[in-house]
């Protein structure tokens, strides 16, 4: 099993007092974090309150970018998972959707407030039926990613995720009662977000790589005896 630690990560949020639609539809945010190393960062957020001072709506969107160019060609990727270390500071049942991010360049660029809407929610990288729940604990957790996420790696060399709160933000469902749904993550060294996956060399099977009982006699159906040498080595 191979792993790849996140290269760039962060959050862009917006808090406004006009309406839920206005907050959700903003082109730029008004809160931002990049590559936070704290142990208790709120990445996912859907908040609504109304009272004597008026109403307020807030949404936070998490962004996570991975440079996967090492595995873009020559490998078959399977069993792809996104791992995160949550904290117990979350509130509500934080269902999420994982979609394509268009931010963070080639996994080498920090977020700006203009990245609040830098995602394509028509391209989904995991289940979108409300079954994904960002955990409210300190236990290492993960989400299974789909074949579309694998295709992003093999076609571009990068996997860039945007994680949205599902009930209101992804589903475009305005809250009508007090709402406080949040998902926190740990960005400290040793606890950062990462991908886990199986990377099999193209043309090899697991048996070819792991065999300890007898030598393999062919490579991609060509007998080893047909090879004269590589770079002068027999």
Task: With respect to residue 229, please indicate whether it lies within any of the assigned structural domains.
Answer: no
Domain assignment of residue 215, yes or no: no
Integer angstrom CA distances of residue 195 from 87, 116, 157, 183: 19, 23, 14, 19
218-219 and 222-223 strand pairing: antiparallel
What percent of the chain stands above pLDDT 70? Answer: 87
Mean pLDDT of 120-146: 97
**Which of residues 147 and 220 earns the better pLDDT score?**
147
Per-residue pLDDT at 27: 98
Q: Is residue 227 part of a domain?
A: no
151-178 pLDDT tens trace:
999 999 999 999 999 999 999 999 999 9
72 part of a folded domain: yes
pLDDT exceeds cutoff 50 at 203: yes
Total domain count for the chain?
Answer: 1
Task: Tell me: pLDDT of 232 over 70.
Answer: no
Q: Is the pLDDT of residue 227 over 80?
A: no
Residue 232, in any domain of the structure: no
Res. 226: pLDDT tops 80: no
SS3 60: strand
- Judge whether 219 lies within some domain: no
> What confidence score (pLDDT) does residue 230 get?
45
Mean pLDDT over the full length of the chain: 90
List the domain range (segments joined by +) for residue 147: 2-204
Question: Mean pLDDT throughout 13-23?
Answer: 98
In a domain, 221, yes or no: no
Q: What is the per-residue DSSP string for 162-194?
A: EEEEIIIIITT----S-EEEEEEE--STTS--E
pLDDT band of residue 205 (cuts 50, 70, 90) is low
Tell me if 231 is assigned to some domain: no
Which band of pLDDT confidence, cut at 50, 70 and 90, is reported for residue 53?
Answer: confident
């Amino acid at each position: 099993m191979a792993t790849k630690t996140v290269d760039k990560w962060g959050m862009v949020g917006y808090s406004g007092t006009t309406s839920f639609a206005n907050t959700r539809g903003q082109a730029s945010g008004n809160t931002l974090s990049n590559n936070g190393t704290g142990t208790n960062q709120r990445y996912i957020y859907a908040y609504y309150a109304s009272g004597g001072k008026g109403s307020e709506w807030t949404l936070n969107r998490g962004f996570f970018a991975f440079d996967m160019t090492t595995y873009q060609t020559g490998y078959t990727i399977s069993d792809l998972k996104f791992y995160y270390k949550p904290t117990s500071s979350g509130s509500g049942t934080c269902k999420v959707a994982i979609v394509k991010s268009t931010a963070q360049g080639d996994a080498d660029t920090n977020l700006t407030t203009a990245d609040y809407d830098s995602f394509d929610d028509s391209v989904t990288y995991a289940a979108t039926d409300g079954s994904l729940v960002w955990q409210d604990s300190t236990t290492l957790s993960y989400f299974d990613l789909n074949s579309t996420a694998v295709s992003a790696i093999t076609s571009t060399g990068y996997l860039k995720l945007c994680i949205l709160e599902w009930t209101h933000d992804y589903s475009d469902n305005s809250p009508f009662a007090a709402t406080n749904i949040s998902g926190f993550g740990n960005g400290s060294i040793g606890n950062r977000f990462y991908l886990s996956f199986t990377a099999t060399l193209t043309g090899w099977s697991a048996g070819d790589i792991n065999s300890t009982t007898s030598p393999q006699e062919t490579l991609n159906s060509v007998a080893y005896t047909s090879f004269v040498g590589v770079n002068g080595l027999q």
